[in-house]
Structure 1
C-alpha cells in the first residue's frame, strides 16, 4: 500500500492527469474540485498527502493549506502545492505551512517522487530547483 492522496484542483483534466500518474504507481487517489470540497472530505478520506492547486474558486490552495494547519486533526498532514507558482506564492505557501511545491507543467516522475517523499515524511525536495530561494534547508516538522 503506497498511500492515499487527496488531489485538489479546479481543472478536471489536471485532476485526472495527477490521478492517473499516482494510481499507476499504486497510490489510492481521492479528488476534490476546490478547497471547500477538500476541507469537507479530508476527515472522511484521511489522506496521507494532500496536493493543492493555488488558484481555485471559493477557497484557494494557500488558504486551504492554512486551514489544514489550523485544525489539530490535519496539522501534521503533508501538503504539496502543484501550481504554476510565483516566488511570492511559494513564500506565502511556506508561511501557510505547505511542505513542498511542484511547478506546472510537471513531469509525472517528479510528481510521483514528491508524493512518495511526503508519504514517507522524508522532507520535501527543493521545489523543482527553480524556487530554492533560501528554502532548501527547511525540514518537515
Structure 2
C-alpha cells in the first residue's frame, strides 16, 4: 500500500456522482469519505478532518454555498481546501465562490482527470486557478 495522498470528503446528493468522484480519487491514492449533503458534511467534517472537500452546489437541506461559508467561518475547518462542483458556471458564481474563499471550481460534467489534478494540487498545498 502506497502513501495516502490525502483525505478527501466528497459531498454530493447524487449517489452516482458521489461514487464516481470517490472511486476516481480512491484509485489515485486518496482516502475518501462521503457525505450526502451540506448538513451531513458539517456533521462529519470534524471527525474526518479532510485535506480537501469536494462540494456540490445544488443540494437539498444545505447547499454548497452555505456549507462552504460555514466551513470558512469555523476556525477548526477554515483551512480545509474546498472545491465547488456545479452545473452552473457563470462568472458571478465564480466571483461568489472567491468571495466565500473556495479554492477551486469545477463545472459538471467535469473531466475526472481534471478533478484528480485539482484535488492533488490542493492536497499538496499548491494554488489552483479559480
In structure 1, list runs of 5 or more residues that go unmatched. 127-141
Aligned partners of 2:126 and 2:110: how far apart in 1?
Answer: 21
Instruction: Output aligned runs, 1:52-131, within 5 Å.
Output: 52-85=55-88, 86-126=90-130
TM norm structure 2:
0.93
What is the DSSP-based 3-state SS (H/G/I as helix, E as strand, rest coil) of the residue aligned with 2:106?
A: strand
TM norm structure 1:
0.86
Alignment deviations for residues 70-94 of structure 1 (CA, whole Å, 9 cap, x no partner): 0000111100101112322221111
**Partner residue of 1:49?**
52
**Partner residue of 1:25?**
28
Aligned partners of 1:4 and 1:35: how far apart in 2?
Answer: 18
Aligned residues: 126
Q: Which runs of 4+ in 1 moved over 3 A?
A: none
Pairing partner for 1:8 from 1, 7, 11: 11
In structure 2, list runs of 5 or more residues that go unmatched. none
CA RMSD in angstroms comes to 0.9
Preserved CA contact (<8 Å) 1:69 1:75: yes
Aligned partners of 1:35 and 1:101: how far apart in 2?
Answer: 17
What is the DSSP-based 3-state SS (H/G/I as helix, E as strand, rest coil) of the residue aligned with 1:125?
A: coil
Aligned partners of 2:10 and 2:86: how far apart in 1?
Answer: 12
